[in-house]
Amino acid sequence: MRLFLFFFVLIAADSFAQRKVIQLIEESVTSLESEAHLSFLASDEMRGRDTGSPEIDIAAKYISTQLKIFGVKPVKGDSSYFQEVRLDKIVPATSATLTLGEDVFKLIDDLLYISGNSVVLDGDVIFVGYGLTTDFEKVDVKGKIVVALAGSNATTNAVQALLTDAPEKAKRASVHGAAALIEVMLLPGLPWPALVNFLAADRMVTQKESSKAIPHLFMKKTDAASVAALMQSKRASGKLRVEAYATLPIPAKNVAGIVEGRDASLKNEWIVVTAHYDHVGVKKNATPDSIYNGARDNAIGTVALLQAAKFFAKNPPKRSILFLAVTGEEKGLLGSEWYSNHPLIPLNQTVFNMNCDGAGYNDKTIVTLMDLNRTSVDELLKNACLSFGLQLKGDPAPEQNLYERSDNINFAVKGVPAVDFAPGVKAFDKDLFKYYHQPPDEVASLDMNYIEKFHRSFVYSTYLIANDKNRPTWVKGDKFEEAGKRLYGNN
């Protein structure tokens, strides 16, 4: 009987503590305050917060000022809330041709310029399979035109091939002395016209300090006999002509602040809370409104980060938290890419990434977790959402590979368990696309009652993870599990 009473008292005490936390979150996170932040960040005066614009610098200053007001500190040893992010603007090549045998492949129709200098090359063309490290070790590519398959033997879609695999492959080719790299796109997920829209326009990339700017191009899937022969024999003769502009440096910054944990041991484990604060700026369209305000994408996420920062500055959890508002997500996940390669907190001390980003919402009864069933925190997140009357649901469109299209992916590929906590999406329908990357995405169109529930669920989810005795992990068999083992030294 005494044992029963002891456990009953423990359960009751835990229940009371959880109700107290929920009450504190309700007092701290209000629709009025969320709307005030949103109204500034997504105002017409902010002109869509385009990366590299004066307005995004104003947004960064606003976020850093709020962190300071809340009592969130700069990262230890630094007096600034800003992390410099070095970006280059790439202007599309004016022309490019590849000649193999009788076949001539041309820019836009067959080739798309990714990056690199102008060249005139005439000589050996080497096929290296997927261009993995082992592929480059098998053959001498110095001074040669290298052709590879886009992606890797573990890549299932073109988005990952473009955003994740291609930069590493270019670096690999450069290190081995290749004169140029051409990747043949055979993967599904990005039709050639979609690739043209992305790569044939001005773009930004993170500066690559350790590699020379060799020409790097994508090639359309082709039945040309010369390409089939190259892949069969691994070697051919060919010519490559590329006329490209020099890159232009673009100043940018992430905004970062910390709350140190209160547990003597767990404070050395860090949760990184991320949200991108950029949007797509000002663009001409068929309507009189040219400002893409980005209330949903991603002022909602940025304000979720601010609400969490305010709460945890007053209520430090057991684990430490880094709040990281990242730039350049709309340009290719650039701010989080830069951070993952230049972390302010060592990645092997970073045990979880709680990212908040979405395309909007069309179901106000749910929160969407793009990564449901991938990490060990699902039950914590489900309970957090239920506490505020919402249900947690998974990715409504797995074929779109949404998990790898937001900033969480740059933590995941390093091995850090990461999720994207997004407003509720039941389907990609006209209700969603009415606002997604469209001028009507303004604060006045938001249901602030739902936004309040969503922000409270986000803060409570972060609270439960930051205080849980169990360290977050990848689900056994997940594609990033091995990266996690390497990162944390538990192979």
Last-in-domain residue among 211, 246, 281: 246
Q: Which amino acid is at 354?
A: M
Cβ 83 vs Cβ 253: under 8 Å: yes
Answer whether residue 129 is part of any domain.
yes
Q: What whole-number distance in Å separates Cα of residue 312 and Cα of residue 104?
A: 60
Express each pLDDT in 208-243 by its tens digit. 754 468 999 999 999 999 999 999 999 999 999 999
Answer whether residue 11 is part of any domain.
no
302 and 442 share a domain?
A: yes
> How distant, in Å, are the alpha carbons of 52, 94, 115, 126, 288 from that of 201?
16, 11, 12, 29, 23
306 and 435 share a domain?
A: yes
116 and 262 share a domain?
A: no
Looking at every residue in the chain, the average pLDDT score rounds to 93
Region 265-270: mean pLDDT is: 97
362 and 325 share a domain?
A: yes
Q: Tell me the helix, strand and coil percentages in the chain, rounded to 5.
A: 40, 25, 35
Answer whether residue 10 is part of any domain.
no
What pLDDT, on the 0 to 100 scale, is given for residue 76? Answer: 78
351 and 456 share a domain?
A: yes
Tokens of 166: 């291609």
Q: What whole-number distance in Å separates Cα of residue 310 and Cα of residue 110?
A: 51
- 9: helix, strand or coil: helix
Answer whether residue 345 is part of any domain.
yes
Q: What whole-number distance in Å separates Cα of residue 472 and Cα of residue 343?
A: 19
Range of the domain at 294: 23-88+251-488
CA atoms within 13 A on the CB side of 360: 22
355 and 452 share a domain?
A: yes
Which of 409, 400, 408 is closest to 428 using CA atoms? 400
DSSP states of 194-238:
HHHHHHTS-EEEE--TTS----EEEE-----HHHHHHHHHSEEEE
184 and 280 share a domain?
A: no
> How distant, in Å, are the alpha carbons of 149, 373, 443 from that of 435?
36, 29, 11
**16 pLDDT tier (thresholds 50, 70, 90):** low
185 and 295 share a domain?
A: no
pLDDT at residue 388 is higher than 80 = yes
42 and 75 share a domain?
A: yes
CA atoms within 13 A on the CB side of 194: 8
For residue 56, what is the domain's CATH number? Answer: 3.40.630.10
Higher-confidence residue of 490 and 56: namely: 56
Longest pairwise C-alpha distance within the chain = 89
64 and 133 share a domain?
A: no
For residue 165, what is the domain's CATH number? Answer: 3.50.30.30
Express each pLDDT in 95-154 by its tens digit. 999 999 999 999 999 999 998 989 999 999 999 999 999 999 999 999 999 999 999 988
The percent of residues above 70 in pLDDT, for the chain, comes to 96
51 and 180 share a domain?
A: no
Cβ 221 vs Cβ 100: under 8 Å: no
**160 pLDDT tier (thresholds 50, 70, 90):** confident
- Count of domains observed in the chain: 2
Answer whether residue 402 is part of any domain.
yes
The beta strand positions in 260-365, using DSSP E, are 270-276, 320-326, 350-356
**1 pLDDT tier (thresholds 50, 70, 90):** low
Answer whether residue 455 is part of any domain.
yes
> How distant, in Å, are the alpha carbons of 26, 303, 380, 441 from that of 31?
10, 11, 23, 18
Tokens of 167: 């930069």
pTM for this entry: 0.86
103 and 213 share a domain?
A: yes
pLDDT at residue 345 is higher than 70 = yes
Answer whether residue 41 is part of any domain.
yes
Answer whether residue 257 is part of any domain.
yes
